[in-house]
Structure 1
């Protein structure tokens, strides 16, 4: 790839392998083909790979093509490239309600949700999270909310707030998450519109490999017990 100043850029793209093929339009792809809808890959609703009777689901949550907020999407397509037997992959870059439906329609024994999590401010306020690049793992029970908060979360979902927290809260409310559910989040260094998936902020770029290693370890552990 050549940069705007005419220099050759040999950096690794965030999407490579099969995902790169999808991106470049040589086959229908979920990222750049407006006609594509999750599930049209021949897999079950919401999936971009695998089957809804696989024991493990890896779901990327976020906003594709919006820099750090696209982390979950990037991770999902990296996992898709691994082509792991027994592992379904979902691109949950739609709404938390649709993400819940994707999870609920499967018979997954383990669900791994990945995305960014803003701390220390409101999402899309243009400010970095409190500790950009910090990686955390959670149990879904840590996202327990009151009935009033649930109603507020549903309202946020209707307005397009597609965060990991909202996906977990909605899925929990409908008892869709299996006991073996892990949530992996990264604090974003940039949380607003205007950037694309072409480049993460430095803290999130540095955290990406750690996240992928955590996902792989979780997948391997789940498959060993399946």
Structure 2
């Protein structure tokens, strides 16, 4: 897989692509990442990549010409080829999810444009098949961090990138539910102990424990996700228990 990141600040990614899982993946030739400086595709001596918006108002807009020149140089046409996708990080985009990450990981080529300022000149979206993606409902100074988030979420799903592929498939959000609490050595620390079930070696009980704790954490932190999860009778019964406890807890607090 090849990932291309188009940015005004190429130096931002130096440590991102050289460290940890991403760095090892590149070293092992499991995927390739190319950082592209958008200013290299400007046509004036000042390398101007942005300008004020028509109609007035504050802020700046990424110019259409350097974006067009860049994507054309990369070989893109109005219709993307099979196995290729252009993504623009944008507050107006569709929310990035684990399902999106899985889909992107199956591509041969992913090109990410780091949005900036007020956004990009809208005409670039008419000239190329570009998918706008948002990583959340908050404002950031630029799209570099969002591009790094997307890249990390995608490459870790490529077979061979993680030491144990089960680590990726067992992640929170891969199964929709949030992950169950995890523990490692020592068994006891400052009076806090590891749950006995995890120490017993009974794999069936361990899986049941993890399933329940995963549902509990999702119920407490992201209850809306439960509507998207396939639940069996035991799961539904456990959720009802949690709902009763929550309701009783509120009553106790109000008394």
Q: TM-score range by the shorter chain?
A: under 0.3
| Bigger radius of gyration | 2
Q: TM-score, normalised on structure 2?
A: 0.25
TM-score normalised per structure 1: 0.27
Higher relative contact order (CA 8 A, sep 6+): 1
Q: Which has the higher helix share?
A: 2
